[in-house]
Amino acid sequence: MRLSRYFLPVLKETPAEAQIVSHRYMLRAGMIKQASAGIYSWLPMGFKVLRKIEDIIHEEQIRAGHIPLLMPTIQSADLWRESGRYDDYGQEMLRITDRHDRDLLFSPTAEELITDIFRSHVGSYKDLPLTLYQIQWKFRDEIRPRFGVMRGREFYMKDGYNFDLTKEAALHAYNRHLVSYLRTYERMGLQAIPMRADSGPIGGDDTHEFLVLAETGESEVFYDSAITDLKFGDRQIDYDSVEQCQAVLEEFTSRYARTDETHDEALFNEIPEDRRRVARGIEVGQIFYFGTKYSEPMGATVVDADGNRVPVHMGSHGIGVSRLLGAIIEASHDDKGIIWPEGVTPFHCGLVNLKQGDEAADTACQAIYASLTAIGLEPLYDDTAERAGAKFATMDLIGLPWRITVGPRGLKNGVVELTSRRTGASEELPPEHAIARIAAIYGKASA
Ligand SMILES: Nc1ncnc2c1ncn2[C@@H]1O[C@H](COP(=O)(O)OP(=O)(O)O)[C@@H](O)[C@H]1O
Ligand SMILES: [Mg+2]
């Protein structure tokens, strides 16, 4: 993409309404624009990052054996009356009436609809296990939408639902989700710690929230610092193996890590004092086993091996897709702007022409641009007539992890400059070497 042809409405001024750094940078970098309270338009660069995050989530869910589908945002109130949640949900549910006076709603989550799909089409234990998921817009009429995409009213969410014959099988599905979530967040350059969460008034159910540590997080968290040394890495996992998934769960949840809702001071004080941490975190996902809570009232049953009709065991598992943009920026930025992890960056690198109109510089930039594109990379080429300082400031703000800078002086010596956004370190090298380095970073074979 050439910057001169792109739509990147960068703001010079810091927007007054933005209280936290991710919100400020998303507005300044022209990623989002508020449409009304808690509702945003996704401008091209914000949309690009959203898609990258979505792609990673799909890849990891499919790897775990989960199946994507898509359900509507507008749903019938009748289904929600069956589970009893139409009345329970309260003010956060956006209720809509159509021209025939039928009650509809904008889905805040989709347990009812997925359970209806299941009961209509699945009748035998032989069709289990089954996990279906979607990535779809949700609406919750939050009383205080704030912090940009962090707490929106309209937000993008991955919601998955498992259907299993027994509690044991459903807990394996739970563990599978935990593993797939660890992989997902790490690919986005995030450390998200599974913390025991509150399962609400009913209790007894299993649930973990995934939290990214950040000062601006809305949750207070208490944990054993040893947990931050854990890394999933690139280990291979067989998602069908009950033992392997269980072992990962045990490894990642055996240390103390809880939010304020489940915090237990006595247990916390058993941790050696130098490892006790009290901090804040951003909830980027949650996994939940709730048994037959929906299958029983809604009649989602299967015939088991003995010919008995039994309600299925279910769980639901969410990832805050749009919130993740904010969480990633909170975890990765400096005072000049965003620093995108390679896994989610909107463009693989920036290409800055220091002297647009200079024949040697223009030709070199075109050649570098063509080479990067040919190996499947997407550079953002600043081919505008701006001053060098302004070009650098924009590149730093939008946070592409690598920048190639091309100028007439360097070209005389046969070199361009390769700069890491994260460390600020620059290196002069021939253009082909710079291209090869970027190709290697992104795992592409250079031509
Ligand atoms: N208002 C919101 N704006 C942005 N993301 C949200 C919002 N509410 C929830 N999410 C994200 O969706 C994920 C799944 O939602 P859920 O656990 O049902 O939400 P909550 O814990 O707020 O009830 C959460 O972990 C969070 O990352
Ligand atoms: Mg939650």
In the chain, % of residues over pLDDT 90: 96
Strands (E), 327-429: 333-334, 337-338, 349-353, 379-382, 402-406, 416-420, 426-429
pLDDT tens-place string over residues 45-56: 999 999 999 999
- The Cα-based distances of 429 to 361, 391, 415 in angstroms read 15, 21, 5
User: Residue with structure tokens 């370190």?
Assistant: 425
Amino acid, res. 214: A
Strand 349-353 relative to strand 402-406, pairing? parallel
CATH topology of domain 3-337: BirA Bifunctional Protein; domain 2 (3.30.930)
Which residue ranges make up each domain of the chain? 3-337, 347-441
Residues 176 and 66: their CA atoms lie apart, in Å, by 10
Residues 23 and 258: their CA atoms lie apart, in Å, by 26
pLDDT tens-place string over residues 312-357: 999 999 999 999 999 999 999 999 999 999 999 999 999 999 999 9
User: Residue with structure tokens 């392997």?
Assistant: 244
Ligand located closest to 324 CA? 1
pLDDT tens-place string over residues 226-255: 999 999 999 999 999 999 999 999 999 999
- Sheet containing 94-97: give its strands across: 74-76, 103-106, 94-97
Q: What average pLDDT does range 40-66 have in this prediction?
A: 98
Whether 203 shows a pLDDT value over 60: the answer reads no
Q: Which of 139, 323, 324, 325 to mutate to test the pocket of ligand 1 (most atoms within 8 A of CB)?
A: 323
Ligand located closest to 150 CA? 1
Residues 132 and 113: their CA atoms lie apart, in Å, by 12
pLDDT at 200: 67
- The Cα-based distances of 226 to 205, 229, 275 in angstroms read 26, 6, 7
Can you give the pTM of this predicted structure?
0.96
113, 132 contact by CB (below 8 A) = no
Domain formed by 347-441, architecture: 3-Layer(aba) Sandwich (3.40)
Q: Which of 181, 221, 283 to mutate to test the pocket of ligand 1 (most atoms within 8 A of CB)?
A: 283
CA of 157 from ligand 1 middle (Å) equals 8
Intra-chain end-to-end CA distance of the chain, in Å? 20
Q: What average pLDDT does range 167-186 have in this prediction?
A: 98
Residues 373 and 375: their CA atoms lie apart, in Å, by 5
Give yes or no for residue 151 CB within 6 A of ligand 1: yes
CA of 36 from ligand 2 middle (Å) equals 24
Ligand located closest to 151 CA? 1
Q: Which of 93, 111, 143, 157 to mutate to test the pocket of ligand 1 (most atoms within 8 A of CB)?
A: 157
Whether 125 shows a pLDDT value over 80: the answer reads yes
Q: What average pLDDT does range 263-292 have in this prediction?
A: 97
| Residues with a beta carbon under 5 angstroms from ion ligand 2 | 286
